[in-house]
């Protein structure tokens, strides 16, 4: 089964850029949501707020006397993609998710090994409903259409009181969406991160909350990992033009420079990296820019 084109591993085509992002991102995008902050869906939810950590999901479910709905998937699974596009994007399913804990488990990730072994996952997609103790209460290892999903899972609203939705001051704010995007990114859930980031830019086009520069950088980097380089380039260039004083600009310039170089616009990439070195000589990315220039100039000499 062939993966989607935008899932193409960047380690084969953009090794230097990806290696640099791995170093940059944990520093620039720390996640500040505490384990006690349970997301509260807005009145008109746009998507599911997933958890990505098994133990955290159980802890939240125990606190709220609810259940964990674990969805196990893989990027190259056609039926998983269909379920995400149709079932987990359905308004009624999104609304239903607000009263429970939804856990997203990538089958082929290192962190999911324990989960896969404990629950003996053999087929994808798989949906498992768990008691907060970790005990399995329901399983379906097949595609579930929205109506099927809601019909099969309604029983868990009947055996347990609907958990109350907390009213944290920031749980409905755009700050929460940004923190959620950071958390999704940390777990390599780039598509989930882009949903929250797109929502921020849509809801606050004039940047009244001062989050758009950070959102644009994280959005652009997420798209690089999804191999959507043209869209990433647009967002990163927008960041540099609209927010020239932002601390995110040097990182955006470096990533843009690498994109230009890796997409055969070497002179343009070199010029941008030189500008980065000149304007931000003390920034961490300046040294990376110097290394990129040395690498590509060396490649040019060998090619010539």
Q: Percent of the chain, pLDDT > 70?
A: 78
Work out the number of other CB atoms within 10 angstroms of the CB of residue 193. Answer: 28
Residues, the chain, total?
304
The C-alpha atoms of residue 233 and residue 252 are separated, in whole angstroms, by 9
User: Average of pLDDT values for 92-113?
Assistant: 91
Q: Where are the alpha helices (DSSP H) in 174-246?
A: 174-186, 190-203, 212-225, 229-242
Can you give the pLDDT at residue 253?
96
Tell me the domains of the chain and their CATH numbers. 5-30+170-303 (1.25.40.10), 54-158 (3.40.30.10)
| Main-chain dihedrals φ then ψ at residue 285, nearest 5 degrees | -75, -15
**Tens of pLDDT, residues 217-242:** 999 999 999 999 999 999 999 999 99
Q: Where are the alpha helices (DSSP H) in 4-134?
A: 15-28, 54-64, 78-82, 91-97, 113-118
The C-alpha atoms of residue 22 and residue 79 are separated, in whole angstroms, by 30
């Amino acid at each position: 089964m062939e993966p989607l084109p935008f899932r193409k591993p960047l380690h084969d085509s953009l090794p230097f850029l990806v290696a640099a992002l791995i170093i940059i991102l944990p520093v620039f995008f720390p996640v500040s949501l505490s384990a006690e902050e349970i997301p509260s869906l807005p009145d008109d939810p746009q998507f599911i707020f997933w958890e990505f950590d098994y133990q955290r999901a159980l802890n939240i479910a125990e606190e709220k006397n609810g259940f964990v709905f674990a969805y196990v998937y893989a990027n190259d699974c056609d039926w998983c993609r269909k379920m995400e596009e149709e079932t987990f994007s359905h308004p009624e399913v999104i609304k239903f998710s607000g009263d429970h804990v939804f856990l997203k488990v990538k089958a082929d990730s290192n962190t999911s090994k324990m989960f896969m072994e404990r629950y003996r996952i053999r087929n994808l997609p798989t949906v498992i409903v768990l008691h907060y103790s970790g005990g399995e209460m329901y399983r379906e290892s097949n595609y579930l259409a929205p109506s099927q999903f809601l019909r099969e899972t309604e029983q868990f609203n009947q055996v347990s009181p609907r958990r109350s939705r907390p009213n944290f001051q920031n749980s409905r704010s755009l700050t929460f969406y940004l923190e959620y995007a950071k958390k999704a990114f940390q777990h390599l859930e780039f598509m989930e991160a882009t949903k929250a980031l797109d929502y921020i830019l849509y809801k606050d086009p004039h940047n009244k909350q001062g989050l758009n520069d950070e959102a644009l950088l994280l959005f652009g980097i997420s798209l690089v990992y999804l191999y959507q380089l043209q869209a990433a380039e647009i967002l990163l260039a927008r960041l540099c033009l609209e927010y020239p004083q932002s601390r995110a600009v040097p990182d955006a310039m470096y990533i843009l420079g690498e994109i230009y170089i890796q997409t055969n616009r070497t002179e343009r990439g070199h010029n941008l990296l030189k500008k980065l070195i000149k304007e931000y000589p003390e920034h961490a990315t300046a040294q990376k820019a110097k290394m990129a220039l040395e690498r590509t100039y060396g490649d040019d000499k060998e090619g010539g």
